């Protein structure tokens, strides 16, 4: 396996599944997504579809595990962004407080010297 292709691979181990022990996900080349597409969970079963076999259950289980893994990653990313915004607001407030406090101290020292 080439090392250039390995950066687009993810190996999922210790999955909470009875059927799937390990999953290898190969990602597409990095392209910008124009529109997000969502998978319909409650898709109606039509008569044209054949009866599901054992392999289909394994594939569905693997798809579910991978989608759960990706959703957890996205959730963590959103939480990190919210934390970053929160800390940035606190930083700005502390910075303003520091400037205000230093300005008050400078004014007080000037007033003490003038008296």
pLDDT at 101 exceeding the cut of 90 = yes
Domain span including residue 16 = 3-28+54-114
What distance in Å separates the CA atoms of residue 12 and residue 20, rounded to the nearest whole number?
Answer: 10
In a domain, 47, yes or no: no
Domain count, the chain: 1
What distance in Å separates the CA atoms of residue 22 and residue 10, rounded to the nearest whole number?
Answer: 11
Residue corresponding to tokens 């407080």:
97
The answer to whether 27 and 8 are in contact (CB under 8 A) is yes
What distance in Å separates the CA atoms of residue 75 and residue 45, rounded to the nearest whole number?
Answer: 30
What is the CA 64 to chain-centroid distance, rounded?
17
In a domain, 36, yes or no: no
Residues 3-22: pLDDT tens digits? 455 566 777 787 777 767 77
pTM, two decimal places: 0.42
In a domain, 21, yes or no: yes
In a domain, 34, yes or no: no
In a domain, 46, yes or no: no
What distance in Å separates the CA atoms of residue 33 and residue 17, rounded to the nearest whole number?
Answer: 30
Residues 31-87: pLDDT tens digits? 665 665 555 555 555 555 555 565 566 677 777 888 888 888 888 888 999 999 999
In a domain, 40, yes or no: no
pLDDT of residue 1: 44
């Amino acid at each position: 396996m080439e090392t250039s292709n390995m950066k687009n691979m993810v190996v999922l181990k210790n999955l909470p599944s009875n059927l799937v022990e390990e999953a290898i996900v190969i990602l597409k080349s990095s392209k910008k997504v124009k529109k997000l597409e969502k998978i319909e969970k409650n898709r109606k079963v039509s008569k044209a579809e054949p009866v599901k076999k054992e392999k289909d259950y394994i594939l569905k289980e693997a798809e579910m595990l991978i989608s759960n893994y990706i959703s957890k990653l996205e959730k963590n990313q959103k939480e990190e962004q919210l934390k970053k915004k929160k800390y940035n607001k606190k930083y700005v407030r502390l910075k303003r407080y520091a400037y205000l406090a230093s300005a008050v101290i400078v004014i007080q020292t000037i007033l003490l010297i003038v008296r």
